[in-house]
Amino acid sequence: MASLTTPLSQVHSLSSSKPSLRLPSPSLPLQFRRKPSPPMPMKAVVLVSATAAAETSNKKRYPGESKGFVEEMRFVAMKLHTRDQAKEGEKPVTEPEEKPVAKWEPTVDGYLKFLVDSKLVYDTLEKIIDEAPYPSYAEFRNTGLERSASLAKDLEWFKEQGYTIPEPSSPGRTYSEYLVELSQKDPQAFICHFYNIYFAHSAGGRMIGRKVAEMLLNKKELEFYKWDGDLSQLLQNVRDKLNKVAEEWTREEKNHCLEETEKSFKFSGEILRLILS
């Protein structure tokens, strides 16, 4: 079965990929967890079929499923946090940006690189949603979560303070190119990134913004961390739309979307790491 680390090009050639899952089993849809088993005696076959039938009728087969697909995406995402980042997190710390934010030693230059690369990613996402190569993307126009314009204001502010705004660097450029490619050929995987980027920013991203502003910017609150209107309501509206779009997906398409979460963390982690450069 495809693993969370399977390259995109191999995601559909399931038989050829070896499982290399790092997530604990409860975070994964059931079929990702089963190992091939030897032939079973008849009684066992009956028992297993009965269990499978019960599972089919039980709407809670996938963690979060009964609350809607966003809850399933959230469940997988939360497991990919470290314990320090979030209490539901389970991932061991392996990268510098996964250390507790309180122990970070950020620099203004690094933070500027992070803002510039983040802007490129939001510009790209917002253009894709605007052009909507798949009609379902149009649901996500003007949600109020857009960040491109607010980041433009922040970069202008840094310029006024005398900073030189760098060009986008490799992590932002690579992620943007990947998003464009995905948006045209793999809408379920694209939606996974859409969800993770906007919702991560509204949660951990805000906390990071606050801490870094304390450390580097004399507590100046950037526009990146301000939304017009009630943020929790804006997020809820987007959750409702995501759930509605995912209702049209098959179970396989949903699983494919969930599998993409790890890539989303990898790309975003590389952009976050710029803060520490």
Q: Does 74 bind ligand HEM (CB under 6 A)?
A: yes
Provide φ and ψ at 214, rounded to 5°. -65, -40
Provide φ and ψ at 148, rounded to 5°. -65, -50
Residues 102 and 118: their CA atoms lie apart, in Å, by: 21
Residue among 93, 72, 79 nearest 24 (CA): 79
Q: Give the tokens for residue 165.
A: 């705004």
- For residue 207, the 8-state DSSP code is H
Q: Does 242 bind ligand HEM (CB under 6 A)?
A: no
Would you give the binding string for ligand HEM spanning residues 206-225, x where CB under 6 A is met?
-xx-----------------
Residue 98 or 186: the one with the smaller Cβ distance to ligand HEM is 98
Q: Give the tokens for residue 137.
A: 């993307």
Q: Which stretch binds ligand HEM (CB under 6 A): 45-53, 204-212, 219-227, 251-259?
A: 204-212
Would you give the binding string for ligand HEM spanning residues 100-129, x where CB under 6 A is met?
-x----------------------------
Residue 1 or 208: the one with the smaller Cβ distance to ligand HEM is 208
Q: Does 199 bind ligand HEM (CB under 6 A)?
A: yes
Say which amino acid occupies 44: A
Q: Which of 6, 124, 255, 268 binds ligand HEM (CB under 6 A)?
A: 268
Residues 151 and 122: their CA atoms lie apart, in Å, by: 9
Residue labelled with tokens 């510098």: 96
Residues 173 and 166: their CA atoms lie apart, in Å, by: 13
In whole angstroms, how close is the CB of 235 to ligand HEM at the nearest point? 6
Residue 1 or 195: the one with the smaller Cβ distance to ligand HEM is 195
Residue 11 or 203: the one with the smaller Cβ distance to ligand HEM is 203
Q: Does 77 bind ligand HEM (CB under 6 A)?
A: yes
Residues 250 and 257: their CA atoms lie apart, in Å, by: 11
Residues 196 and 169: their CA atoms lie apart, in Å, by: 21
Q: Which stretch binds ligand HEM (CB under 6 A): 21-29, 31-39, 115-123, 199-207?
A: 199-207
Residues 71 and 88: their CA atoms lie apart, in Å, by: 13
Q: How many CB atoms lie within 10 A of CB 174?
A: 15
Q: Does 176 bind ligand HEM (CB under 6 A)?
A: no
Q: Does 276 bind ligand HEM (CB under 6 A)?
A: no
Q: Does 203 bind ligand HEM (CB under 6 A)?
A: yes
Contacts with ligand HEM by CB under 6 A lie at 74, 77, 81, 85-86, 97, 101, 196, 199-200, 202-204, 207-208, 235, 264-265, 268-269, 272
